[in-house]
Structure 1
Amino acid sequence: MINAKVTFFAPVYITEDSEKVRAAVSNMANFGRPKNEEIHPELISGANPNPDKNKSTCDDTDPFISDAENVKETAIVCGNLELLSGIHYLIRKEEIIDTANTALTDGIDESGCKTFVALNKQAAFMKHISFPAADETLGSVFLEIETETPDELLRIIDWLTPPTKEGIPVYELKMNEL
């Protein structure tokens, strides 16, 4: 299986309830996961946390949040490929495979090993997935996927968002095939 680093995070603005933002991040990272296996997001002070490697599972995290002075903390959860299983399901449930593919491929950085996308925070709180067209007033839940090679990242994107014909996947990869 591909060794990927998956991170979900969201800014908690001074006007927001920390637990609601934390729930939005948790919903994206834990959708479909049994309660006893849930991973609970950390709340880290500030907009651009770079957690102490000895205290956090989210080593070298440096999220980009544009309105940093109005952010009191960041809700964050990090893990491996398994964190994407809920997103995989939600993309199909919401019937947005092609939209998700565009967002994921447009978010690939110049190295080709990392993609970064925004998810609507309010939709995430309600256990839905939506890719906003523009920056949102209260920010977003961000998803970052990082792999060792560009081919691995493209394989993950292909698993999350396979080619479609009239909205129906032409084929489906299983997670254990990655």
Structure 2
Amino acid sequence: MHLTFHHDPRGECFTLIRRADGAVFTLSSYSRKHRVPHDLAHAVTERELGIPDGIFGCIAAGAVFDSMQQTAGKKRHDAKTRSTRILKAPNSIGISEVLTSVIHEAVENDRPTPYTQARESWGITQAAPCPYDNADLDRATNTLRDLSHRWQSNPDPLVFPWPNKLHAAAR
């Protein structure tokens, strides 16, 4: 899958998603209140922490959210069924939302890596100890911080590679 984040003239962002199956989508983001788009924060957090079944891992596997529009490529005959199956299966979208919000807020407010807050947030949704160490959380926060600076200083689209191996299991 290949992601490209585009500046929208209205002050928003939209993401062009090219999936491995040839389908191309736009994903609208409603991030006007943020310096860096929340969808970019999701992509960074999920990629850097290796979350295979967060929002973008589910999209890579075939999920389609309401805020997505298919713009090119052949639509699968079972696209709706596949998407529903992926989204109803156990996934990490909830934990991705929690961790992304913590990291995004730290970057938005120019704060250091939020180690304690990330671990406390993990504990809200998971009984097991947080699997991410300080280096993992630093990598996610610093990558988002770097991309935030690029996003704000350059009107060109931001290309964001997505690892082939990082996708929800097809059930």
Give the TM-score normalised by the residue count of structure 2.
Answer: 0.26
Higher helix fraction (1 or 2): 2
Give the TM-score normalised by the residue count of structure 1.
Answer: 0.25
Higher strand fraction (1 or 2): 1
